[in-house]
Amino acid sequence: MPSAIQSALQPAGIEALRIVHLWWIFFWVCTVVWVLVAGATLMAVASGRRGTSAGVNERRVTGTVAAATAVSTVALLILLTTSVVTDRVNASLDTTNALQLQITGWQWWWDVQYTNPQASLNVVTANEIHIPVGRPIRVTLLSGDVIHSLWIPPLNGKTDLIPGRANEIWFIADRPGVYRGQCAEFCGTQHAKMALTVLAEPEDQFQRWLTAQRSPAASPTTPSEQRGREIVERGPCAMCHAIQGSTAGARTAPDLTHIATRSTIGAGSVPNTRGYLAGWIADPQHIKPGNKMPAPGLSSEQLLAVLDYLESLK
């Protein structure tokens, strides 16, 4: 996977582009103000040394204050209008043919649903989204616990996920790439390890991914995978996780139906390799201290079987 972009100064979509324009307007207006203030201070120091007479000073002060007030008013008006206009324009993206997503923030991971009017075509995943390039993405933002905030800097600004309320954002990716989003509202100990990876890809590639995600979990093909599935279904895992097509159907932890297709585990904490997966299942608290998955206490034989099974969930 190419390295992910997480900079608001490298926009990959029209919404982020408008925000970066706004950023540069703020930057230049503030720079000019700073230079004027610094210049005026230096001039005041210099004229103080020269010791100008009181009468001249008074007239100059009135003039300067009037000019400074006018400049400040104009500067503030520029900042106000440009930010209000950017906000309004960004809020009104054309959403014809939009892809509808529902993202729910949990301490400390993202539940993602590709909602479809036909329920059997729904896709549930976590912490990693695929989106088609050039199509508006309309996201409903919910929270399962506390306030979170979703920020994918190359695509759009931040929007909060608030318990008991549905917020909405839109964005569109102009070019393929990997963009890294991050929770931007402090939400507890592992707030910093709450990333959302966005893979923007051409429409046909996206459709292939979506179709694959719609299928239930792969059936075990080896005795070890079979054993792993039994442990997951009968053990504690099924109390929190869902694997479509198995009896595990809980929704308070990341959906594991196609876990092997994701690039990271623990919401971007570590790469999804066999080694890290083993480390995660053996002791999730070591990789992400304080997270809501207790160590399941599997024997090494059970751990290997569970690993084989999870790695088969392509």
Q: Is residue 281 close enough to count as binding ligand HEC by CB under 6 A? A: yes
What are 124's strand-pairing partners?
113
Of 150, 183, 242, 305, the one binding Cu ion by CB under 5 A: 183
DSSP string for 62-103: HHHHHHHHHHHHHHHHHHHHHHHHHHHHHHT---TTPEEEEE
Q: Is residue 183 close enough to count as binding ligand HEC by CB under 6 A? A: no
Q: How many residues bind Cu ion (CB under 5 A)?
A: 4
254-273 binders of ligand HEC (CB under 6 A): 254, 256, 259, 262, 265-267
DSSP string for 216-281: PPPPP-SHHHHHHHHHHHHSTHHHH-B-TTSS-B--SS---TTGGG-SEETTTTEE--HHHHHHHH
Q: Give me 166's structure tokens.
A: 């549905």
Q: How many CA atoms lie within 13 A of 20 on its CB side?
A: 15
Per-residue CA distances from 24 to 14, 79, 84 (Å):
15, 11, 15
User: Could you tell me which of 12, 32, 242, 237 has the C-alpha nearest to residue 137?
Assistant: 12
Taking the complex as a whole, the smallest distance from the CB of residue 256 to ligand HEC amounts, in Å, to: 6
Taking the complex as a whole, the smallest distance from the CB of residue 264 to ligand HEC amounts, in Å, to: 7
Stretch that binds ligand HEC, among 42-50, 61-69, 197-205, 280-288 (CB under 6 A): 280-288
Cα separation, 258 vs 126, whole angstroms? 10
Q: Is residue 182 close enough to count as binding ligand HEC by CB under 6 A? A: no
Stretch that binds ligand HEC, among 22-30, 40-48, 129-137, 290-298 (CB under 6 A): 290-298
Q: Is residue 232 close enough to count as binding ligand HEC by CB under 6 A? A: yes
Cα separation, 106 vs 81, whole angstroms? 36
105-124 binders of ligand HEC (CB under 6 A): 108-109
Q: In this structure, what are the phi and psi dihedrals at residue 226, rounded to the nearest 5 degrees?
A: -60, -45
Of 240, 260, 270, 304, the one binding ligand HEC by CB under 6 A: 240
Convert residues 115-154 into a mask of x (bound to Cu ion by CB under 5 A) and - (unbound).
Answer: ---------------------------------x------
Angle, CA of 106, 107 and 113, to the nearest 5°: 20
Of 147, 251, 292, 311, the one binding ligand HEC by CB under 6 A: 292
Q: Are 307 and 286 in contact (CB under 8 A)?
A: no
User: Could you tell me which of 78, 84, 86, 79 has the C-alpha nearest to residue 15?
Assistant: 86
Q: Is residue 267 close enough to count as binding Cu ion by CB under 5 A? A: no
Q: Is residue 237 close enough to count as binding ligand HEC by CB under 6 A? A: yes
Q: Give me 9's structure tokens.
A: 């100064």
Distance of CA 241 to the CA centre of its chain: 22
Choice between 214 and 262, CB closer to ligand HEC: 262
Q: Which of Cu ion, ligand HEC, none has residue 229 at its interface (CB below 5 to 8 Å by kind)?
A: none
Taking the complex as a whole, the smallest distance from the CB of residue 285 to ligand HEC amounts, in Å, to: 10
Give the binding site for ligand HEC (CB under 6 A).
Answer: 108-109, 126-127, 190, 232, 235-237, 239-241, 253-254, 256, 259, 262, 265-267, 280-281, 288, 291-294, 296, 298, 306, 310
Give the binding site for Cu ion (CB under 5 A).
Answer: 148, 183, 187, 194
